Amino acid sequence: MSLIGIYNHPKAAKMAYFGLYAQQHRGQQSAGIVSRRPPKREGEVLQICEHLGLGLVPDVFPEEILNRLRGSRAIGHVLYSRSGSPSLRDAEPFRIQHRGIDLSVAHNGALLNAKSLRLRMEKLGAIFHTATDSELFAHLIIDAMEKGDKLPEAVAAACKEVRGAFSLLVLGNDQMIAVRDPLGIKPLSIARVEKTDTWVLASETCAFDLLEAQKVRSVRPGEMVVIEADGALASPTLTSIQWADSPGCKHCVFELVYFARPDSVVFGEEVYSCRKRMGIQAAREAPCEADCVMPLPDSGVYFALGYAQGAGLPYEHAMIRNHYVGRTFIQPTQEMRSFDVRIKLNPVSGFIRGRRVVIADDSIVRGTTVRGRTSHLREAGAREVHFRVSSPPVKFPCLYGVDFPSREELIAVHKTNEEIREYIGLDSLHHLTLEGLKAILEKPEDFCYACFDGNYPVPPNDEEEAAAARGLRIEQPED
């Protein structure tokens, strides 16, 4: 999931569109933008426009739709595919109108106590239309405002109720508010378009590059940044409110392993060089006698580069990617996933034949991807196939928004390294060790490794909370 916020730009929605475009890799299920045009002179009314759709950003926002999204303030969101069929209802930002308050909320993360909070709000009369955490935030915020809070205090009150991972953007009548949870699990940064008063908020810094905005800083864990302007023509001001003490950071390490784009800087780490360092470390841990190293594109590319450098092996690209096929993980059934794996990459048989190859990728989840690739390489005549993985075995589901399958489906839960090697059909297999992963990070103590070691920094209170946070959402009847 990904967030974009634009404050004080004549074409805020277009900026948001490009910001989402740059972050499309963080979610392909749905996209949405809400924009607001504050009155410029007396008598004019506030205009609010919104558009949400299923699919990729350019498909959801053709030019004529984008032109209709007027205003100088906008927030946007792309949603990552979760298990189950995509529903437009769960597209974000979520917008709510209540007694003159018009709020839009976009969220990146997952909440553990969403179910019990929903129930509480429902008992108070709230009617929910979606299964999203954004809607829950909206109801909690409205509830606090009903009790007399101004928007920033109400957002803080809502954040104090929830437990889990959240980076949040809220667009109110005059203010745009950015929040991070006390552990800073998900990224969110602030930038400014050079020589202007335009402020940009984004999950990843690659969006700033496209929008020609300079990163100012990250929103701090437990911090809320309120951007506001007194009328459409005034310069915005930024106010920082520490709504919660941060006991220390627990950033999601999977952002560095897989999620973030390599041209982003996330949690103070340059993703590109970080992935190369993982490769160099893996070469130290598990060198290999082979003829070349090949990434599984695209997720294995920079790790493979590092491995090749570290191991002193030639780096090759002899698996050709069909760029018109989406991510394999998204397919709902196992059969489709296997097919998709094969349709996406085709080995260059002339090069592969007779060679000993090391393939490299970021992770093994179910084992489907690499199993398909390995048998393909064998069919193409590879003499040996070795596999190096830039993360330790994924043994625990993520409770904070990374869409891993249930524990039962994680191959490393049931099989040893040797059994996985055999199942996939490899000559050798090595996962980067947890110690090795920590060793290449600047501040290893600042990261969450729960998917590898099961140490959840925000532990679930019970099974139900754990299931809810894993995206096993409350069933909604279909439209």
Question: Which residues contact ligand AMP (rule: CB under 6 A)?
Answer: 258, 296, 299, 327, 329, 361-369, 402-404
Least distance CB 140 / ligand AMP (angstroms): 28
Where are any strands of DSSP class E within 362-437? 384-389, 428-431
Residue 48's H or E segment, with its range, is strand 47-54
Least distance CB 338 / ligand AMP (angstroms): 9
Q: Compare residues 97 and 334 and give the one whose CB is closer to ligand AMP.
A: 334
Q: Compare residues 19 and 372 and give the one whose CB is closer to ligand AMP.
A: 372
Least distance CB 296 / ligand AMP (angstroms): 6
In order, the DSSP letters of 363-417 are --SSSHHHHHHHHHHHHTT-SEEEEEESS----S--SSS-----GGG-HHHH--H
Least distance CB 301 / ligand AMP (angstroms): 11
> Is residue 457 a contact partner of residue 448, using CB atoms and an 8 Å limit?
yes
Left (φ > 0), alpha (ψ -120 to 50) or beta: where does 22 sit? alpha
Q: Compare residues 362 and 465 and give the one whose CB is closer to ligand AMP.
A: 362
Where are any strands of DSSP class E within 231-330? 237-242, 251-252, 265-266, 269-270, 292-295, 319-321
Least distance CB 391 / ligand AMP (angstroms): 9
d(CA 72, CA 69): 10
Query: Other CB atoms closer than 10 Å to residue 421's CB: what's the count?
Result: 17
Q: Is the dihedral of CA 403, 215, 306, 282 positive or negative?
A: negative
> Is residue 134 a contact partner of residue 75, using CB atoms and an 8 Å limit?
no
Structure tokens at 15: 């900026």
Q: Report the chain's terminal Cα–Cα distance, integer Å.
A: 23
Least distance CB 227 / ligand AMP (angstroms): 31
Least distance CB 374 / ligand AMP (angstroms): 11
Q: Compare residues 35 and 363 and give the one whose CB is closer to ligand AMP.
A: 363
